[in-house]
Amino acid sequence: MIDREQVLHVARLARLDLTKAEVERMASELSGVLDHIERIAELDLDDVEPTSHVVTIENVLRADDSRPSLARERALAGAPDATDSGFRVPSPAAAAAADGS
Amino acid sequence: MTTVTTTPTERAYEPVIGLEIHVQLRTQTKMFCGCALSFGDEPNTHTCPVCLGHPGTLPVPNAEAIHFALMIGLALECELAPRSIFHRKNYFYPDLPKGYQISQFDVPLSRSGRLGDVRVHRVHLEEDAAKLVHAGASGRIHGAEASVVDFNRGGTPLVEIVTEPDLSSPEQAGEWLRLLRATLKRLGVSDVNMDEGSLRCDANVSIRPAGTATLGTKTELKNMNSFRFLERGIAAEVTRQEQILRGGGEVEQETLHFDPQTGALSSLRSKEESHDYRYFPEPDLVPLAPTQAMLDRARAALPELPAARAERLERELGLPTDTARLLAFRSELGDFYESALGADGATDPATLASWVTVELVARLGDVDPVESPVSPEALAELVRLVSARSVSGSAAKEVLDAMAAGGGRPEAIVAERGLGLAGAGELEAIVDRAIEANPDAVEKVRAGTGKAMGAIVGAIMRETKGRADGGEVQRMVRERLGLG
Amino acid sequence: MSELLDLSTAQAAQSVRAGDLSPAELLSAYREQAEADELGAFLWLPEEPLGVMGTAADAPLAGVPLAVKDIFCVEGVPTTAASRILEGYRPPYTATAVERLAAAGAPMLGKTNMDEFAMGSSNENSAYEPVRNPWSPDRVPGGSSGGSAAAVAGGLAPWSIGTDTGGSIRQPASLCGLVGLKPTYGAVSRYGMIAFASSLDQCGPITRDVTDAALLLRHLVAGGRDPCDSTSVDFPQEIELPSSEDLGGLRVGVVPELSDAATIDAGVKTVFDATLERIEELGGGVEQISLPHSEHGLSAYYVLAPAEASANLSRYDGVRFGLRSGDGDLLSLYERTRADGFGDEVKRRIMLGTYALSSGYYEAYYGRAQRVRTKIAEDFRAAFERVDLVVTPTSPSVAFRLGERTADPMAMYMSDYCTVPMSLAGLPAISIPAGLSEGLPVGFQITGPAFSENRLLAAAHALEQAIGFDSSPARGKAGAPAR
Ligand SMILES: [Mg+2]
Ligand SMILES: [Zn+2]
């Protein structure tokens, strides 16, 4: 089960602006899917390792050799709003600043 | 055991400080793509579909970045994980092209290390964010303030080092960060330049009643980009927290920005907006399990580190602790010193060290001595001339001035400028003149007022322009006065 | 002309090599068909037909044109993943899979329709238009590679590539009477393939017959591992063109959990059982095995895939490419761009995945789902100790009507019931047409251990020969085997 409040919280995390109607519908549809999913709660999985990768390889690395970068015009070509040198965005308000690293 | 009741206003507090340091690695290319690293180049000239987060692109880790990170883990005496994985740290920000940062979470490359007397909690690898440049009001976005994103820095390999909260004063934090910086510099894995952002430091600060073991609520101070700001920022935050507690209030867990101009601390994020990063294993990357060969290579690449060098200089050469640390932490000075020492086995190590750390540093500032005209051999020769009393201390300083300005060998400069110590014959006449010219002082010296000797010696030194040995001059004056 | 279009790809390539057919002739014949597309199969065709390489006749794929799912980036060519959020996007680079096939002599015919970001089982989630099933235009072709399947089944393309995350190649192949192969995870490079769920996504062929599937797979894996995809690996052998006519000595496992009457339509079950008999006629042994956790595959899948998708789709933020909306502040740039740019199903999955990863829920959903994944892989490992291959129906039903399941997400998700366990375990699986039910194709799925594609293709080929299914809807319906 997921309620309206949770839907709104998750929508904010996912940066999705949902309409009132979408919020209602989402709450009921997601609850339906979660009902099905929650059947895995009954399984005994205590000593089971999680699988995040099915491939068993390790250490796939790249030599530190540089490759040509894109010409700047090409990098900026698809941007919805670009200056001559970069991608323009509304300034993040100081209060909403996140840590960049 | 006695119980002392104190009110918050009179209680003494002690700071509990931990640091989080981000280090840009000095590889040729970015962490997950082949774009060359750059600093100060034209914006958005070092990007590709991968580091711009284009649909369908995939990361491939840079082997050299992992090598550097292993070196750091070893240098900080960490336990290296036999197998570590990358996670995605999810949040939206314009400098983060994929909407997540590839970082390490619950299985970092290494943990539980130590540097000096501070424990290192963990060391992990991640990718740097891009740079947001404020662009003023934008015509396109009506009246709103705009920023421009430059992705040149985006994807630079970063190592994040997190300490345990083992520091207890702003000065100690600054001192430890200097040791870390010297260590990383010595490893050659980073430019460690705080102005340029290749070394960035955040601090977690809390305070507690002195002598207790409790942990107070901590705040996070972001991105203090110099040693001075780090120390001032922490000091300001400690004061702020003390004022809150003494006033009967409670410290709130928050992230703060320190403005070095005004000394003010401002909140970056309120508690409600604290992030839910939804970490999960990065499915585009396979695990990292350092092989014996990788570990051997990292171990073989480790030079003698500053902490060990300071200890060795102190123990083997008998240098004072501060001098030894200065030579070790600024490894370019240490290298200069040791090469000067090797050039002339007859030089006294402590005297030479003082000439390097005091006189040479005064003339070079932050410049690497390798780039100055003073060669290690020349400085060693100068110090030997002083020790052999062929030249006075003050004259030697003049010689060093000349060497720092235009190079050259000390003996040649001494000869050319007539800076050698005045001979006995020359001195006798000068001593006689000085005694004649200072009858008052002579009388006082005779009466046993030792201080008065200074006036006579000073006159002699003036006349010889410092080319005399002070002790020798005193001896001669006393002899002349029949006090010897 | 119609004879030319009836040739399988391998046959067409043979004719080109023999000098009986020119690549240009072949391309223009298909180009004409694709331009007359009434199925909604193509989202984009080049203005001018793409030139056929001069060396096509010598190239292994002999200039036979390829329909490419619009999830593959091709430099300078509109690439949308059937989403509004990528409208007008032209990638600055080309996917490895497309590059390799083009280098082997298969030029791109056009970009095919799909469910938005490969999320769907009916192709009704395309932001542009739904795709129709050539066997019955009021029915869905399956999804998410529905455009690729409809193009091949409708004779608009000789062959195609699609992507499969939980069944997106196999299910549309099944619903359109075609062969669809999802290779072992890691066999084919994912570089340039727009990500849905990175730990599950694989590229593979959708073709008229097993030989064509083998031919395409051979050239998808022939270059070895792709240095641009850390999860790609060298395929341990060369892919052989199958010739086997019998199944002598082969042990085949049937899974009650995945072929039980409660979840599988009766008509599908009938064709499935008949196919088991054919296996025995061909000398194979059929025995029952168990994959006890496979019934939980769908639950695990609908946690893991949306979770990965929620992160994979964060890059669509209106900053560097694609759509931008909003009223001037940063939060509205994000929230409006994504609200306007994503369709309902994509939003649903982003929400589901974000929820499953969010603070306080991770262990209950994501953590458990990963452990179910481990159990499913262990089930298969145990099964392959006893049998060589595992077989199931591909889709629980034949092609359903447009609109029939759009109101009920869970009913739509059930389409992947039989295909999801193999995806979770990273195993190769092929769907071949095995007969008709209600005049519509029924697919038969064969799965083997990782990198057993040659064994899989050989068995599929022997069965295909015995079944004699006609992949042309017009003739197939008329001359369906009587069984
Ligand atoms: Mg970090
Ligand atoms: Zn790049």
The reported pLDDT for the residue numbered B364 is 84
Whole-number Å distance between alpha carbons of C33 and C153? 12
Whether A88 sits inside 8 A of B35 (CB atoms) is no
Q: Is the pLDDT of residue C252 over 80?
A: yes
Q: How many whole angstroms from C318 Cα to the centroid of ligand 1?
A: 25
Is B4 inside any structural domain? no
- Can you give the pLDDT at residue C483? 38
- Beta bridge partner(s), residue B209: B13
**B484 has a pLDDT exceeding 70:** no
User: Cβ of C329 and A17 within 8 Å?
Assistant: no
Helices (H), C49-139: 96-103
Q: Are C69 and C160 in contact (CB under 8 A)?
A: yes
Closest Cα in chain A, distance from residue C413 (Å): 9
B283 and B429 part of one domain = no
Is the CB of A31 inside 8 Å of chain C's CB atoms?
no
Give the end of a domain, one of C375, C406, C441: C375
Whether the predicted pLDDT of B3 surpasses 60: no
With 90 as the cut, is the pLDDT of residue C478 above it? no
Q: Mean pLDDT of all residues in chain A?
A: 90
Residue A66 forms contact with B (CB below 8 Å)? yes
pTM score of the predicted model: 0.90
Tell me, yes or no, whether B56 and B109 share the same domain: yes
Q: In this structure, what DSSP letter does residue B356 have? A: I
Q: What is the 3-state secondary structure (H, E, C) of C250-285?
A: CEEEECHHHHCCCCCCHHHHHHHHHHHHHHHHCCCE
Q: Is C380 on the interface with A (CB under 8 A)?
A: no
**B439 and B406, same domain (yes or no):** no
Q: What is the pLDDT of residue B449?
A: 77
The predicted structure's pLDDT at residue B446: 83
Q: How far is B158 from chain C (nearest CA, A)?
A: 20
- pLDDT of B262: 84
Residues B73 and B106 in one domain: yes
The CATH number of A4-41, from 3.40.50.300, 3.40.640.10, 1.10.20.60, 1.20.1050.10, is 1.10.20.60
One domain for residues C358 and C398: no
- Mean of the pLDDT values across residues C340-352? 98
Which two three-digit tokens encode residue B281? Answer: 């294993």
Angle (CA) C453-C456-C458 rounded to 5° is 110
pLDDT of A94 higher than 60: no
Task: Kindly provide the ipTM of the predicted complex, given to two decimals.
Answer: 0.96
Give the three-state DSSP class for A61. Answer: coil
Contact B287 A53 (CB under 8 A): yes
Nearest CA in chain B to C195: B56
**Ligand number with the minimum distance to the CA of B277:** 1
When CB atoms are compared, the residue of A9, A16, A91 closest to C335 is A16
Ligand nearest to the Cα of C228, by number: 2
Can you tell me the distance from the alpha carbon of B397 to that of B392, in angstroms, rounded to the nearest whole number? 9
Which of B204-213, B405-414, C157-166 has the largest mean confidence? C157-166
Q: Which long-range contacts (CB under 8 A, 24 or more apart) does A29-32 make?
A: A29/C348, A29/C409, A30/A2, A30/C348, A30/C351, A30/C352, A30/C355, A31/A1, A31/A2, A32/C409, A32/C410
**Residue B175 within a domain:** yes
pLDDT at B259: 85
Q: Does B95 have pLDDT greater than 70?
A: yes
User: How close does chain C come to B264, measured CA to CA in Å?
Assistant: 26
Find residue B19's DSSP bridge partners. Answer: B203
**Rounded CA separation B438/C8 (Å):** 120
Lowest-confidence region among A9-23, B18-32, B155-169, B314-328: B314-328
Report how many domains make up chain C. 2
Do residues B249 and B392 both lie within one domain?
no
| Band of residue C209 on the pLDDT scale cut at 50, 70, 90 | very high
Whether B197 contacts B112, CB under 8 Å: no
Average pLDDT over residues B397-409: 87
Q: Which residues surround ligand 1, an ion (CB under 5 A)?
A: A 101; B 160
Helix (H, G, I), strand (E, B) or coil at B234: helix
pLDDT band at B270 (very low <50, low <70, confident <90, very high): low
The pLDDT, as a whole number, for residue B143 is 53
Say whether both C190 and C284 belong to one domain: yes
Interface residue of A9, A16, A24, A42 to substitute, partner C, most C CBs within 10 Å: A16
pLDDT per residue as tens digits for the range C159-206: 999 999 999 999 999 999 999 999 999 999 999 999 999 999 999 999
Q: Is cis: bond before C144, omega within 30 of 0?
A: yes
Check which CATH number belongs to the domain holding C216 and give it.
Answer: 3.90.1300.10
Residues B57 and B157 in one domain: yes
Establish if B141 touches chain C: CB-CB under 8 angstroms: yes
**Which whole number is the average pLDDT over B427-452?**
84
Q: Which one is predicted more confidently, B480 or C86?
A: C86
For A27-52, the pLDDT digits (tens) are: 999 999 999 999 999 999 999 999 98
Residue C437: give the domain boundaries.
Answer: 2-291+379-478
Tokens of C466: 């015995």
More confident call, B427 vs C340: C340
Domain final residue pick, C375, C401, C417: C375
B89 part of a folded domain: yes
Residue B456, domain CATH: 1.10.10.410
Do B333 and B268 share a domain, yes or no? no
Of A8-12, A20-24, B74-78, C47-51, minimum mean pLDDT range: C47-51
> Are residue B126 and residue B205 in the same domain, yes or no?
yes
Residue B122 forms beta bridges with which residues? B111, B162
Q: Note whether residue B5 is domain-resident.
A: no
Q: Which residues of B touch C328 (CB under 8 A)?
A: 141-144
Show the tokens assigned to B314.
Answer: 């102190």
Is C102 part of any domain? yes
pLDDT digits (tens, 9 = 90+) for B359-389: 998 888 877 888 888 999 989 988 888 888 7
- Is C144 a catalytic site residue? yes
Domain spans of chain A?
4-41
Confidence of residue B258 (pLDDT cuts 50, 70, 90): confident
Supply the range of the domain harboring residue B442. Answer: 424-480
Contacting residues of C for A11, CB less than 8 Å apart: 351
Cα C472 from Cα C8, distance rounded (Å)? 11
Percent of chain B scoring above 70 in pLDDT: 94
Identify whether residues C302 and C340 lie together within a single domain: yes
Highest mean pLDDT pick, B454-458, C58-62, C224-228, C256-260: C224-228
C107 and C86 share one domain: yes
In the set C121, C144, C174, C395, the catalytic residue is C144
Among candidate residues C126, C136, C145, C168, the one labeled active-site is C168
Given B402, B417, B432, the domain boundary residue is: B417
Burial environment of residue B2 by CB neighbours within 10 A (0 to 12, 13 to 18, 19 or more): exposed
Confidence at residue B113, expressed as pLDDT on a 0 to 100 scale: 96
Please indicate whether, in this complex, the C-beta atoms of A17 and C336 are within 8 angstroms of each other: yes
The DSSP call for residue B450 is: G
Q: Which residue of C has its CA nearest to B88?
A: C311
What pLDDT does residue A98 have? Answer: 42
User: Has residue B457 got a pLDDT over 90?
Assistant: no
pLDDT tens, residue by residue, C79-112: 999 999 999 999 999 999 999 999 999 999 999 9
Read off the pLDDT of each residue in C222-250 and give the average, rounded to a whole number. Answer: 96
Q: Do C319 and B94 touch (CB under 8 A)?
A: yes
Domain shared by C119 and C145, yes or no: yes
Residues of chain C in contact with residue A73, where contact means CB-CB under 8 angstroms, are none
Residue B330 DSSP symbol: S
Residue C53: pLDDT band with limits 50, 70, 90: low
Say yes or no: C22 and C150 in one domain.
Answer: yes
Q: Is the pLDDT of residue B424 over 80?
A: no
On whether residue B321 sits in a domain, the answer given is yes
DSSP H helical ranges for C317-441: 330-341, 344-357, 362, 368-386, 409-413, 420-425
**Beta-bridge partners for B14:** B208
B254 has pLDDT over 80: yes
Last residue of a domain, one of B376, B397, B417: B417
- Determine the angle formed by the axes of helices C9-18 and C23-35, rounding to 10 degrees: 140
**Domain's final residue, options B249, B280, B298:** B298
In a domain, B6, yes or no: no
Question: Is residue C447 located within the same domain as residue C383?
Answer: yes
Q: Rounded mean pLDDT of chain C? A: 95
More confident residue, B252 or C383: C383
SS3 C124: coil
Q: Using DSSP bridges, classify how beta strands B110-115 and B118-127 pair: parallel, antiparallel or unpaired.
A: antiparallel
**Closest partner CB to C199 (pick from A10, A13, A52):** A52
Sorting pLDDT into bands at 50, 70 and 90, what band is B429?
Answer: confident
Alpha carbon distance C476, B171 (integer Å):
84
C263 and C131 assigned to the same domain: yes
Give the containing element (helix H, strand E) for B131: strand B131-137
Q: Is B435 left (phi over 0), alpha (psi -120 to 50) or beta?
A: alpha
Tell me whether residue C483 is in a domain: no
Please give the torsion angle defined by the CA atoms of residues C116, C120, C125 and C126, in that order, rounded to the nearest 10 degrees.
Answer: 40
Last residue of a domain, one of C314, C340, C375: C375
User: How confident is the prediction for chain B on average, in pLDDT?
Assistant: 89
Structure tokens at B292: 């014996």
User: Looking at residue C479, what is its pLDDT?
Assistant: 55
Q: Nearest-CA residue of chain B relative to A74?
A: B48
CB of C178 closer than 8 Å to CB of C399: no
Which tens digit of pLDDT belongs to each residue from C54-78? 677 789 999 999 999 999 999 999 9
List chains adjacent to chain C, taking adjacency as at least 3 C-beta pairs closer than 8 Å.
Answer: A, B
* Number of domains observed in the structure of chain B: 3
User: What is the per-residue pLDDT for A96?
Assistant: 44
- The reply to whether residue C230 touches residue B97, judged by beta carbons under 8 angstroms, is no
